[in-house]
Amino acid sequence: MTKFKPEELKKKFQVATSHKEQWRSIYEDAFKYCLPQRNLYTGYGESNTPGQDKMSRVFDSTAIDSTQKFANRLQSGLFPPQTKWCRLVPGTEIPKEQKIDTQKVLDSYQTRMFDVMRQSNFDQAIGEFLLELAIGTAVLLVQPGDDVPPIRYTAVPTFLVCFEEGPFGTVDKVYRQIKKPYAVIEREFPDIKIPEEIKSNYKEREDEPIELIEGTYYDKKTGNYHYQIIDESGKHELVYREMTSFPWVIARYMKVSNERYGRGPVLTALPDIKTLNRTIELTLKNASLTIAGVYTAVDSGVVNPNSINLVPGAIIPVSSNGGPRGADLQPLPRSGDPQLSQIVANDLRMNIKKILLDESLPPSNMSARTALEVAERMKELSQNLGAAFGRLINETMYPVVRRTLEVMDQRGMINLPLKVNGLQVKIQPLSPLAMATNMEKVNQVLQYMQIAQSLGPTGQMTIKMESIADFCADAMGVPAELRTTMEERAEMQQMMEQQMMMAAQQQAQQQAQQQAPTQQEQDATTPN
């Protein structure tokens, strides 16, 4: 595949945009009620009004709070800050006798990788990334940075990105709508070549946004990626690069066959969210009528229905208030049952929190949780995530680590001749959610050891203690520098055998020395 011409790239962008527009209605509702601050559907493409109020039609914050907690729980379970949430381990193509030495090198690279992430904005970007993942689809851009930070992570709003899938459902074409000031674009893309006809329009207005189209797509002939930036008209190519790795991380929480975009728990709870918002809106209106009241007033004329305005403090003219001697002014009877609306609202809130996993942990005001309880809660959370847990690992953790290592290798920060493909170098999740699953495997192995040892010599013959120790160490993420190599184990085994031989010799000598006096006494008492 050769690179696209500017007009071809624009057509590809338009086709991908049309596919995204099919999701516009449901995504717009989800952002409006759950992530109004990140809602660009009514603030970016349709109007240039940054800072506008996006919560004027939101009457209940349950969905907003639960969505934030859901993202926080995913981050603490998958990418906890200031911890090493994965490990680089040798794959099956690495010989067994070389795995310990290879592991030590990979551990040093792993340490450098997490140091780079901590210097960058990874924790912030992944938090924003997981917020949009709660809706269904999230986008993360991993790019080389400066000396500080060496790598930049950007959570790109889903509204600005459209993509196409390649074989097996993998994303291999990503298009982005760029809308930034001219001065910012020149600094962000130093190799940009803007034609004079475009530059003349913005040179004197450097703070005015310019619209561009960015495309990144895979070339199956070379195995690399084409990176292009064109102007909005599709007539000029402004930037072209050839990249060895894919800078985009596109994750879908749950994906239905023949659909490109994902469906998250927010979309599942969206009917309850919208119903709750409407219920609270009507409840508040009823409460305002109760506080201020609506009154009827006697009017000698005929009542005009068009003049009736049901707002707090309104006065509705009527011909009579209960007969000829009725009150001149009296309040209108209040309708509706506030207790019923409260019951309905509470049920809806419980459903929303349950879907967004906002009830998996005990309240913060309870007693401190033990390590065992935390592990059990993480295990419960991984079970509730179900198939989404595996998709999050494959579409988020693995691509982020691979792209980070590739950028570090390109910048000369590491020298990694092996491929991070699961066969030469494998990425082992060590996050709390993954560790909860691994510890279940370790407990099963330990239970088997107890059963085998209870069966006597026959059962003990089935146990490979050294292999079991390595299995448990790998599952628990024990660093290589804390484990002995094959050579060190052989030396230790030889030393143990020598010590046992020396101990046996010393014991034999002691026994011989103890038996010598006894033999002499027997010889002395024996008559000639």
Q: ω into residue 149 within 30 of 0, thus cis?
A: yes
405 closest CA partner among 59, 11, 86: 86
Residues 186 and 298 in one domain: no
- For residue range 226-248, what is the model confidence (pLDDT) as tens digits? 999 999 888 899 999 999 999 99
Is there a contact between 356 and 71 (Cβ–Cβ < 8 Å)? no
67: helix, coil or strand? helix
Q: How far apart are CA 137 and CA 381, in angstroms?
A: 20
Q: How far apart are CA 283 and CA 59, in angstroms?
A: 10
Q: Containing domain of residue 14, as a range?
A: 6-35+135-263
Residue 322 CA to its chain's centroid (Å): 65
Residues 226 and 313 in one domain: no
Q: How far apart are CA 126 and CA 75, in angstroms?
A: 8
Half-sphere exposure of 269 (CA within 13 A, CB side): 30
* Tokens 């590491």, residue located: 414
In this structure, what token pair is assigned to residue 86? Answer: 């994965």
**DSSP per position, 238-249:** EEEEEESS--EE
Q: Is residue 168 part of a domain?
A: yes
pLDDT < 70 regions, the chain: 1, 42-52, 202-206, 292-313, 316, 318-330, 332-338, 359-379, 477, 479-481, 516-528
Q: Is residue 363 part of a domain?
A: no
Half-sphere exposure of 193 (CA within 13 A, CB side): 7
Q: Is residue 479 part of a domain?
A: no
Q: Is residue 382 part of a domain?
A: no
In this structure, what token pair is assigned to residue 76? Answer: 């603490």
Residues 158 and 204 in one domain: yes
Q: How far apart are CA 214 and CA 163, in angstroms?
A: 11
Half-sphere exposure of 213 (CA within 13 A, CB side): 25
Is there a contact between 245 and 200 (Cβ–Cβ < 8 Å)? no
Q: How far apart are CA 267 and CA 40, in angstroms?
A: 18
SS3 assignment for 341-381: HHHHHHHHHHHHHHHCCCCCCCCCCCCCCCHHHHHHHHHHH
Is there a contact between 38 and 157 (Cβ–Cβ < 8 Å)? yes
Question: Quick one: pLDDT at residue 46?
Answer: 47
Q: Own/partner pairs for 22-25, CB < 8 Å, 24+ apart?
A: 23/261
In this structure, what token pair is assigned to residue 374? Answer: 């935390």
Residues 169 and 315 in one domain: no
191: helix, coil or strand? coil
What is this structure's pTM? 0.78
Q: Is residue 451 part of a domain?
A: no
Q: Is residue 90 part of a domain?
A: no
In this structure, what token pair is assigned to residue 107? Answer: 């551990």
- How many residues belong to the chain? 528
Residues 239 and 316 in one domain: no
Q: Name the domain boundary from 240, 263, 286.
A: 263
The residues pairing with 251 across neighbouring beta strands, listed in sequence order, are 138
Which residues contact residue 170 at a Cβ distance below 8 angstroms, ignoring those fewer than 6 apart?
none
DSSP single-letter state for residue 301: S
DSSP single-letter state for residue 80: -
187: helix, coil or strand? helix
Q: Is residue 88 part of a domain?
A: no
Question: Quick one: pLDDT at residue 64?
Answer: 95
Is there a contact between 28 and 44 (Cβ–Cβ < 8 Å)? no
Half-sphere exposure of 170 (CA within 13 A, CB side): 10
Question: Quick one: pLDDT at residue 474?
Answer: 73
Residues 174 and 305 in one domain: no
Residues 228 and 308 in one domain: no
Residues 18 and 147 in one domain: yes
How many domains is the chain built from? 2
* Tokens 């329009």, residue located: 201
Q: How far apart are CA 143 and CA 158, in angstroms?
A: 18
Left, alpha or beta for 234 (phi > 0: left; psi -120 to 50: alpha)? left
Q: How far apart are CA 106 and CA 415, in angstroms?
A: 10
Find the distance separating the first CA and the last CA of the chain, reported in whole Å. 111
Residues 228 and 326 in one domain: no
- For residue range 463-515, what is the model confidence (pLDDT) as tens digits? 887 778 877 777 776 766 677 777 777 788 888 888 888 888 888 888 877 77
- For residue range 175-186, what is the model confidence (pLDDT) as tens digits? 998 888 877 888
Residues 17 and 162 in one domain: yes
Sheet arrangement for strand 248-252: 151-156, 137-144, 248-252
Q: How far apart are CA 71 and CA 77, in angstroms?
A: 10
Question: Quick one: pLDDT at residue 298?
Answer: 56
Question: Quick one: pLDDT at residue 387?
Answer: 73
Is there a contact between 140 and 156 (Cβ–Cβ < 8 Å)? yes
Residues 306 and 222 in one domain: no
Question: Quick one: pLDDT at residue 210?
Answer: 83
409 closest CA partner among 394, 425, 396: 425
Residues 232 and 327 in one domain: no
Question: Quick one: pLDDT at residue 308?
Answer: 63
Q: Is residue 269 part of a domain?
A: no
Which residues contact residue 425 at a Cβ distance below 8 angstroms, ignoring those fewer than 6 apart?
88, 89, 90, 91, 106, 416, 418, 419
